[in-house]
Structures are given as C-alpha cells and as structure tokens.
Amino acid sequence: MSSKLIKLILALAVAIALGYFSYPLFYGETSGKHRQIAQIPTNGTPKGKDPSDVPPETPQPSAPTEISDGASDDDWQKGFEETSDQQEEEETTAENDTSEGGDNSFMFTDGDPDLRGITEEKDAPEVAGQTDVVPPALTVQREHSIVDAAKNLANAFQQQAKKPTPPQTKPEFDAEAWKQPQKIYKTVMERVLQKLGDKPTPESILSFLGNAENRSDIALISLCRKAGLSDLKDVASRPMGGKLLETLSSDPDWLCNTMFSGPVDKLGRGLMYMETIFQASPQDMMEPISRRIATTAATEFAREGWDKEGMLARYNYYNTSYKEGKLNKAFNSLKYWETRFVTGNREHDTWGSPQSLAWERDNVRLPLERYLDASSQLHYRMKNAFGDSVHGPDYLAPVRAAMGNITPLMHREIGGVCGACSHYGAYAALAAGIPAMTMGEPGHCAYTVRVNNDWKKGYTIFWQHSMHKTFWNLHDWEFLILAQKLYEDRENTLVSDHLAAVADLLAARRFTRAAIECFNAATVVQPLNWPAWQAEAGFLKQKAPKNKANWTDLCLRVSNTMAENFHDAAATFLARYVYPQLLPLVPNLKERNKLFAAFFNKCNDYGVHHWDIAPLLNAQFEGCRTDAEKLDYMKTALSVLMSKPDYSGSVLAWGLDAAGRSAGEEEGQKNSHLQEEFSRLIISAMSHMRASKKDQNATWNGLGEAMCAAENNNDERTFQAIGKLAMQKCKKNFPKYKFKFKSFSGKVISTKGLIQTTHKLNDAAVRDGCLHWGVLQKTGGSIPMPAGGDGSVSVKMDEGGQINGVVILFDKPIEDGQNYTLETSEDGQNWSKTNAEAQLNVSVMRFDLQEHGINARYVRLVKAGSDKNSTTNLVGFYVYGKPNKSKS
Amino acid sequence: MNLIRKKIALGIVALMGVTSAFGAQARSYPDALAKAGKSKPVILFCYGANYDQVSQETYETFIHSKNKEIIRALGKESWVVVPVFQEPNEKEKKEYEKVMGNKHLPGEMWSLPCFLIMDGAGNFRGAVQSKEEMESPEAAATALTTLLKNFAVQQKLIEEAERSNGENKKKALQKALDIPRLSVPGHKSYDPVYSGLLDKVQTMSIPEATDTVRKELAGGPFTPLERQMILATLAGHVRHKGGSADLLRSLYTEIKEIDPTSAFGIYAEGAIKLWAGGGNGSAPTQQAQ
C-alpha cells in the first residue's frame, strides 16, 4: 500500500474521529475500485476522463473505520486535500450518514463522481494554507435583486401549475437508455453546466430556471443524485422499472412533484416501490390522482423504511377508495406534499391496516372538522368491564377473531384509553383522505386534524406535542406548522428548492462561491426552507468550519428571518447547527451575547406555539468556559427573558435546573458556591418581576412554573423563596381559609419545607404551582392528590424532627379514609408505613403519631386503589412535632 | 248530492293519504318537533351535502328519488332532510340554519349518511348509521321500520312508567330499557368501571363478589348492555382468581344470552373459547393468575 493511500486512510479515520461522518453532508470517500481521476478544465467541464463516466453509488450508511488519534480539523482537511492532490487511483464509495434522520434532504454525498476528481475551487481560488474558502454572504442589495428575480420564476411555477407541461411525446431517455443511468446523468449534467457557464450567480441561475426544460434537467439530476445510479440501474434492469423511469423522466409535472414535495430520502427504494405499483396497475399510474397516491405511498414508505407489502396495501386502499368515491372530497385537491401525510400514515397496532381504515371510512364518515370530536365515540376505560388492563393482551382478546381484528371497531365496543381514543379520531380522518396524525403528550396521547390548512388539535391536554409523523424527524408541533407554511407557499418554495438543488450540484462540482450564494439565495427566497438551511450549514461545516464571518452571518440570517415567527425552529437550528461551530470562534462574552440577543429580540412571545426554550439556553450556556462566564451569561439571560411574560417562567425553571445540574456535576465547595450564586441570581431576578395588574397573571404563571421546577429539583430553599415572593406579589391569588381543626402538641415543623405530588400536573395546574407552597402555610393553598394507584403527596421538612401528628385538609369531604396511609422517611427514598389510622372528620384527616416515636424528615400521604372520578386537592398539610436541632 | 259529497270527501281522504305518504317531510326540525308532539318520533335524514359522494348518492337513491321502501318505512312520521356541510360558506350556513333553527345534531350521530330517531322533546333515541344498514334502501328501510315500531312500544312503556310508582314504574322502565337500540330519556347510564363496582368486586372472594354483583343486578333498571357489564365484572374476577371453568362458562353464557349479537355477547362467546374450555367441557385453555 502506498504511503499516500495510508495518508488517505488516516485522513478518513481522523475525519470519523472528529465526527465529520456523523454529519449528513460529508463528502464520503473511502477506498474501493481503481479509477482515473479527472482533471478540471477552467471552463467548468472536467478534463481527461470525464468523472461522469463513473456512476455515483447508491448512498450507504457510513461503515465503521479505524480511528487515529491526535489530528486536528486542520490536519484532517490538509490530509484530505493532499491525498486528493495526488489524484490517487482509488475508487471511492459513497458515504451518507443519515444518523440524524430526515436531515439529509440536500446532500452531495452520494459518491458523486464529479467531486472525486476535482481538487480546486472552481470559482474561489484557494489561498495557500487557508481552509475556509467560502466567500462572504450576499449583500442586502443582491438579496433584493434575487427576490425580484425569484418572483418571476414563482410566476412561471404558478403558470405551470395551472397548465402543466405535457409529457414529452418522444421521451429523451427511454427505458433502454435508463439501463445506463450514468450516461443520462452525464448528458444532463454537461448540458446544465454548459448553460450555467463559468461563473454562475443566483441571478443567472434564476434566469436559467425560468426555462421549463432546464427545470426538468435539474429535477432529473436531483433524481439521479438522490436515488443513486446503482439503484436506478437496478430499477431499469426490469421492464416495468425501465418503463417507469422513462415515463417519470419525460413528464415534467410528475418529476417536479416527486422531487420537490418534501424529503425523498431512500429514493432508490421509493422508485422500486413505484415500480411495484406500476407493475400491478400500469393504467392507474396514468391517472393523476392515482399517480399521486402511488408516488406518495411509495416515497413515504421508502423514506420511513416500511415494507413493500404494507405500501402496496396502503396504495390499494386509497386508490380503490378514491375510485369508488368513498374519500372525502377534500382529498381530490390535495397536493403531493399534503398527500404524504395521508398515504404515509404510520401503521400502529393495525390502526393503519386496510381493514381498519376501510371500517373507519365507512362507519365514521364526517365533515372534516367533526373528526376532532370523533374520539368521544370511545369509552375511556383503563380496565375493561372484565377487569383486564388496556396495557395487557387480554383487553380485546376475545373479540379479535369475531371482529376481524378491526382495531377501531374493537375499541369502540370495549373501550380504550387516550391512545385508542386519539387513534380512533385521527385514523377516521386519515381513512377519509384527510391529513391527520396522533401526537404524544406527557403521559397522554392526543391528535390533530388539518382543517382548512390549519392543524387543529383534538383530545389535547398539554402544550408539549411530539408529532407521530414528521418530514424532518423533528417532532415539535412547530415543525409541523413550519412544514405546512413552507409547502403551502408552493411557488416560492419551488423556487427555493430548485436553487438549493442547483447549489447541491454546484457544490459537487466545487463551484464554492456559486454554491454558497445559491444556498444563501434559497433561504432568501424562502426563509422557512428548513432543508435548505440545513444544507447550507452542512456545506459551511464542510468548507469553512472555522470561518467566524460565515457562521456569524448564518446565525444572524436565521435570527432575522426564520426566527421572526418560528422561534422554536430557529432556536433548534442555532442550537444544533450553528452554536457548536460558532461559539468556540467567539471568545468574547459580550460579542456572544450580541449574537444571542439577535435571536431573543425576535421573541416577544411564544410565536407559533408554546415551546421549550431550555435546549437553546443550554446550548448557549455550554459555550461558557468559566464560572464567571456562566454567571454572567445567566444574568444576561434572566434579565432579557424575565421581561418577556411568555418566557419568564421557563427561564426561571431552566435557571433552577442549570443551577441544580451545576451543583451535581462535581462535589466541592466551588460548585456549591456557584449554585448559591445561581440561586441568588434567580431569586433576585424573580423579585424584579413586575407585578402591575397587567403583568400579574404572567408573574403568577411564571412563578408557578418556577415553583414546579423547584419541586422537581427537590430544592426547598428556592421553593420557599418563590412561595414568599408569590405571596408578596400576588397575594390575591392565595385562598383565605380559616381552618378549624384539632391540632397536635408541638410546633408545625413543615412550614419551611417542600411539598410534592406524584399527580401529573397539566398546564393549568403548573401555572397555579405557587398554591402548593400555600398548602404548608396557615393560609392554605392547593395541591392535587393523586386519584389512587399508590400515588402520594409528600412533604420534605427543613430539618425534620420528632413527629407528634399530621393534619391534612382536603378541599371536599372524604367518604372513606381506608385507602389512605401515612408513611415517613429519613432520606426520601426508603419509606416506612406508620400504623396510625386515618381519623376522618368530613374533610379533615388526622394521623396521631404521639405514641409512635417517629423521627423523620419526610412524610407522605399515599392513596391506594383507583377512582378516576375522584379528583381531590389537599388544601393544608401540617406536620406537628419537635424540630431537630439545625445541623448548622 | 250526498253521493257527490261522499266522493269528494273520499277523494280528499285519499289525497291526504297520498300526501301523508310523501308529505310528512317537514321543512325544518323545529317544525317537525312541533308537529310530532310528545309521543311521536321525528326522523332526521342527515347527509354530507358538499363533501361526500356516498352521502350524495344515498340522498339521491333514498330521498330524492322517493324510494318506495324508504317512504314506506318512514310512514306517517315527521321527517326532515338535514344537509350537513363541510367548511360551509354563508349560503350553506343559512341553508343549514333554515333546517335546524337553533337545534343541534346529537353527539350520538357517528357517521353520515344516517337516519336519527329523535322524540318530540328533541331527545336522541336511536340511529340507523352503520355502513351495512345504510348501503341499500332495503337494508335501511328494514332497520328503520324495526326502530320505529319499537319506538312506539317503548314510548308507551315510558308513558306508563311516568304514570306509575314503585315497582310498577321500575318494571315499565325495565321493559322500555330492554328494547334494543333505543335509549330511554332520563336514564342515567351505568358503567361499573366508573361506579366503583369493578374495583370493589376485585377485592372480594368469589362468593362475596357473586353476592355483590347479583345484588347490583337486582337494583336496576338497567339496559341489556349495563347488565352485561355488571356480570362482566364478576366473570373477569372469577377468571383472574382462577375460578372454575364451569362457573366461568356459565357467567359468559349468561352475558351472551342477554344479547348474543351485541359486542359483549360476542366477547362472551370468544371468552368461552379462550378461557372457559371452549364451551365443550374441556379445561380452560388459559388459566388466570
């Protein structure tokens, strides 16, 4: 093995070690068959043996490779370039890591032969020793001119939608030609490059895209690059596969809809699936709606990694239903991207089986807005009447055979819990051809149905939704809305997608300047184009990992555009893709805070939807290297976000978590000191919360959220501080009980403690979190008592002590005290049941422990059994006794 | 003269007969309710008017073409056609309001097209809405005819119960509740899962549980489904406790016989096969823990 080859392998190993392979936009190069490396002519066409002669391989997952130590990014880059410069004879295999799932909509990683021979930048000559060769971003002036040019192209797309370009009467590439897809790729690529010229710019590219034939060429190149030439060759090797490729490539409308209607990962398999449908029902594929059903079912099933049989069954269900006129009329006018939500619905516990879908289609036929209530057709029963749990196999077992394993029917007759109710509602809509999906919430399942382009929620309890169908493997609600808004703006998005596709091929041909400008233009035209942003970030990471100006520009552009309305999406982008590269390049905290401020300035409220700000704050916080920086950052974050009512509670809760984590990271005085400083900062920030009448609600809600965070962190000091502050600022929100009950001897030793419930708190309960503190005070408060199942409310006392008795007050009369037991603990982990019986007097429960001699720091009330209808709250919890002497 | 009068009178009666056959359709639901009075049903034919081809075809076949079987099934009862619109425009909203006034369609309407049986007070009583029953005029007419006949019987029983007290009232109500597929207004539905019976039974020995469940059943009045569910708590408990296959089989059989075609009847049939020796005297295939 030559020393150069060893260098190449070493370089690759270092790249892997540095995590380059974990990013989807890696230019994969591993050793393989021998091949000749092409020379790069100045006019944009490779010299020597054309690299297009060698087909791009099908994307493969990255293989484990030997990892070498001690190499820096620069070493890796250098190694890569040196090896390339030598024009090694090794063939390369594509590497396409999709570990981030859905993050690889645009890629130049599929073993593109163009790239492998090209060692120089085509349009941005390298400076010796410089690795960051990416030119600066577009000027504002150019952005304007691009937007203007894009408008013309958007109009062209609009015209095309009204009057689709007819298929070619004589296909340029027939089934026979597709047997050699590398030749097709080469022909089209050369044609495109020739038309683009030596120095393509976004403006010239937009002009080029104004021609429908050029757009088709771009779509065709994308098809080759996404599917991979070996998969194309495989498909074309079968008669119907060849015919499919011939038909698809000669129909600009179909090709455009296939390539530019959302992600097309694993397109090679998608084409094989389409071939299967084509084989089964060739005539149907000529009918526009059947073709839409086929294309979306095939691409979605392939993308999700689902099996061919399921795909065919799904296609048959929708195609037959459509032809029989059994789908909702709204289905007929869905576009390709919308149809993917329908035909690509997730199969779960046979909810998506043809039998179940057909049953719901025929028995839950409703106008689409009524599907949001369809979940109420089921009876909520955790246990069925026979006492079998819904989580066990026996719940539906006796009816499965007789009811044909039709899941919705079985649940409607026997019952179910939130999962069944939500699936019933969502799949009823899906069965009728309406976009819908289920979504996870904390301990709950809800669903959403699209009504008039608006995603409406059904059966929801919490604001946190984890969507069960996504385009980019990002499950927050906001990404569903982002996808909706992105593809709803069809023409601009098509312009943007085409620009990104051109950028992709330019990047492959190492037109670095043109590629970055083109990526940039794609997001100028459509700032919501998440895949285009990702592609740009990936390109920058590859070409300019340490170019502060490029990364700063990207950070600011995202903050100024996408963050305008989509705070969560922009924050996710910054935290995942920008900060890890940018923050190490910005050592100055003030400078960093300015970058953060650019984002926060856009966030006056939650924007599209309530979202979790913690991951963003964590990403920013992780950029701080010293304790002083951490404190300074936290101070800034608190001061900026506490003035924004929507975020005040979240930032407090995050601060408490961060402080807790910081203390937990290391033992030692230094970190306890840091935690103390954090806590002081947070309490100080809270005390500055405005409590004018206008802000009263926001203050109360924010403190409530922080209170619950303090409970979760088991932090009684902050819990008490928040409680006192809430009493000071929002006194009116506390009840004014005047309890009368028989107490026990000794002091109330629980007042300065912390109370927690195992009951799952909903949003409203979190907002009223400060009332938990009141439960320990003589004024009283409110905290939910779990309905049963050994749920509990526990009190952690400041120092603990000798316990004489406990008095617990309920908000309503309690009929039977038998289900309640009192337990105590020294450490909050190991609990002992007391033998004391609950003495019940209407809503007052007493436990006399005077004869028990218990010394404990924790006390909890446990409820056994289950009684779903019996929701009670504790309004007072008082532990009487003699406190232990303070350890301090 | 008398003969002429008589002929005219007969003609009017005949005409009224014809009119009533085709003319019991009311323009609006409130009108139909007013015409029906307390004891008569009002039938709503609801269909998806602007989004559902199946509904529109059903409307054409059943109503617009005045299908004889459907008209015969509707008889002289008051009925209304309710067009249900998806994302209605202003014109459609007005059209709907014209028919429904300020009344709402009941939550028990699970699918369209359907026939809903309401009483004169506007209570939902029953529906013909499954695919099997709505896919042909014959099937729909058969189901509708049965429901309307049963409605008349049930209504009499309800009125009898209203006039009675004590045990007689309970008996009349029980008979009314026994009528399949029609609900009785004012009957508070009973679910042993929510009433606490299920949890209570599960803590008992089998004899105690049997006693408790039998007492509960005697309490009534209950619908057939409610009786099945009450018995289900016992059957499930016997199975979980590892009770005898014979006892289990007899309980499942009792549940099944209340209404063999109901979901719980089907469940009981399946449970006999799965857990009670298949009903042929063999040992249970799966014994509870």
- Confidence (pLDDT) at A141: 83
Are A387 and B233 inside 8 Å of each other by CB? Answer: yes
Q: Which residue of B has its CA nearest to A867?
A: B196
Better pLDDT: A814 or B124 = B124
Q: Residue ranges of the alpha helices (H) in chain B?
A: 2-23, 29-36, 53-58, 68-74, 90-100, 131-134, 137-163, 166-178, 192-195, 197-202, 206-219, 224-240, 245-258, 263-275
Q: What ipTM describes this predicted complex?
A: 0.90
Lowest mean pLDDT, pick from A44-58, A816-830, B256-270: A44-58
Query: Does A810 have pLDDT greater than 80?
Result: yes
What are A190-198's contacts with CB under 8 Å, separation 24+? A190/A45, A190/A52, A191/A217, A192/A217, A192/A218, A192/A221, A192/A505, A193/A44, A193/A45, A193/A509, A194/A44, A194/A45, A196/A44, A196/A502, A196/A506, A197/A44, A198/A42, A198/A43, A198/A44, A198/A123
* Of the candidates B189, B216, B194, the residue with the CA atom closest to the CA atom of residue A866: B194
Phi-psi category of residue A197: left, alpha or beta, with phi > 0 → left and psi -120 to 50 → alpha: left
What percent of chain A is modeled with pLDDT above 90?
58
CB atoms within 10 A of CB A812: 12
Judged by CB atoms closer than 8 Å, whether chains meet at B87 and A368 is answered as yes
What is the average pLDDT score of chain B?
Answer: 90
* Residue B31, φ and ψ in degrees, nearest 5: -60, -45
Percent of chain A with pLDDT over 70: 81
Best CA proximity match to A814, nearest among A841, A852, A782, A834: A841
Judged by CB atoms closer than 8 Å, whether chains meet at B274 and A366 is answered as no
Within its chain, how far is the Cα of A90 from the centroid?
A: 39
Residue of chain A minimizing CA distance to B261: A402
Confidence band for B277, pLDDT divided at 50, 70 and 90: confident
- Residue A832: partners with Cβ closer than 8 Å, 6 or more residues away: A823, A824, A825
Contact status of B266 with chain A (Cβ, < 8 Å): yes
Confidence at residue B9, expressed as pLDDT on a 0 to 100 scale:
52
Mean pLDDT confidence for A679-695:
68
pLDDT of residue B7: 58
φ, ψ (nearest 5 deg) of residue A544: -145, 60
Contact check, Cβ <8 Å, A451/B52: no
Q: Are A294 and A284 in contact (CB under 8 A)?
A: yes
Q: Do B267 and A414 touch (CB under 8 A)?
A: yes
**Dist CA A212 CA A201 (whole Å):** 19
Calculate what percentage of chain B has a pLDDT beyond 70: 88
- Whether pLDDT at A817 is above 80: no
With 60 as the cut, is the pLDDT of residue A53 above it?
no
Q: Which one of B107, B131, B193 has the shortest CB-CB distance to A383?
A: B193
pLDDT band at residue A815 under the 50/70/90 scheme: confident
- Which of A71-75, A824-828, B151-155, B242-246 shows the lowest per-residue confidence on average (mean pLDDT)? A71-75
* Residue type for position B26: A
The 8-class DSSP code of residue A30 comes to -
What is residue B106's DSSP assignment? -
Residues contacting residue A42 through CB under 8 Å, at least 6 positions apart: A198
Measured CB to CB, residues of chain A less than 8 Å from chain B are 325-326, 328-330, 362-369, 373-374, 376-377, 379, 381, 383-388, 397-403, 413-415, 451-452, 865-869
What is the per-residue pLDDT for A17? Answer: 38
Cβ of residue B138 closer than 8 Å to a chain A Cβ:
no
Model pLDDT for residues A346-400, shown as the tens digit of each residue: 988 899 999 999 999 999 999 999 999 999 999 999 999 999 999 999 999 999 9
Confidence of residue A692 (pLDDT cuts 50, 70, 90): low
Which tops the pLDDT comparison, A648 or B104? Answer: B104
Angle between helices A239-249 and A267-280 in degrees, nearest 10: 110
pLDDT, tens digit, for every residue of A591-628?
999 999 999 999 988 899 989 999 999 999 988 888 88
What pLDDT does A865 receive? 66
CATH 3.40.720.10, domain B17-156, yes or no:
no
Q: Does B85 touch chain A (CB under 8 A)?
A: yes
| Residue A57 pLDDT greater than 60, yes or no | no
Bin B151: left if φ > 0, else alpha if -120 < ψ < 50, else beta. alpha
pLDDT range class, residue A92, cuts 50, 70, 90: very low
Using only the alpha carbons of chain B, give its radius of gyration.
24
Q: Do B131 and A379 touch (CB under 8 A)?
A: no
Q: Give B210-248 pLDDT, tens digit per residue.
A: 999 999 999 989 999 999 999 999 999 999 999 999 999
Q: Do the Cβ atoms of B236 and A387 come within 8 Å?
A: yes
A516: closest CA among A173, A838, A135? A135
Chain A to chain B Cβ contacts (< 8 Å): 120
Q: pLDDT averaged over chain A?
A: 83
Please say if the pLDDT value at position A836 is more than 70.
yes
Tell whether the model's pLDDT for residue A664 goes beyond 90.
no
Residue A809 has pLDDT above 60, yes or no: yes
Q: Which residues pair with A450 in a beta bridge?
A: A455
Band (pLDDT 50/70/90 cuts) for residue A25 is very low
pLDDT band at A75 (very low <50, low <70, confident <90, very high): very low
* B237 has a chain A CB within 8 A of its CB: yes
Which residues from chain B sit within 8 angstroms of residue A366, using beta carbons?
Answer: 48, 111-112
Q: Do B110 and A385 touch (CB under 8 A)?
A: no
The predicted model scores a pTM of 0.80
Report pLDDT digits (tens) over B21-69: 444 899 999 999 999 988 999 999 999 999 999 999 999 999 999 999 9
Whole-number Å distance between alpha carbons of A176 and A243: 9
On the question of pLDDT at A814 being above 90, the answer is no
Query: Are A376 and B107 within 8 A, CB to CB?
Result: yes
Residue A71: phi and psi, rounded to 5, are -100, 140
For position A134, what pLDDT does the model report? Answer: 62
CB contact under 8 A, A398 and B270: yes
State residue B3's pLDDT score: 55
Which residues is B82 bridged to in the sheet? B46
**B193 and chain A: CB distance < 8 Å anywhere?**
yes
The predicted-structure confidence for A263-319, as pLDDT tens digits, reads as follows 999 999 999 999 999 999 999 999 999 999 999 999 999 999 999 999 999 999 999
- The more confident residue out of B155 and A690 is B155
Give the three-class secondary structure for A603.
Answer: coil
Is pLDDT of A29 > 50?
no
More confident residue, A466 or A11: A466
Task: Please tell me which residue, A587 or A648, carries the higher pLDDT value.
Answer: A587
pLDDT (0 to 100) of residue B197: 93
Which chain A residue lies closest to B248 (C-alpha atoms)? A386
Least confident of A125-134, A446-455, A746-755, B25-34: A125-134
Residue found by looking up tokens 């009941």 in the block:
B106
- Check residue A475 and give its pLDDT: 97
Select from B50, B51, B58, B286 the residue whose CB has the most chain A CBs within 10 Å, as the one to mutate to test that interface: B51
Distance from A471 to chain B by nearest Cα, in Å? 27
**How confident is the model over A181-222, as pLDDT tens digits?**
999 999 999 999 999 999 999 999 999 999 999 999 999 999
Q: How confident is the model at residue A99 (pLDDT cuts 50, 70, 90)?
A: very low
Looking at residue A133, what is its pLDDT?
57
Query: Where residue B201 falls among pLDDT bands split at 50, 70, 90?
Result: very high
pLDDT at A80: 25
**Are A367 and B84 within 8 A, CB to CB?**
yes
Residue carrying structure tokens 């940018």: A582
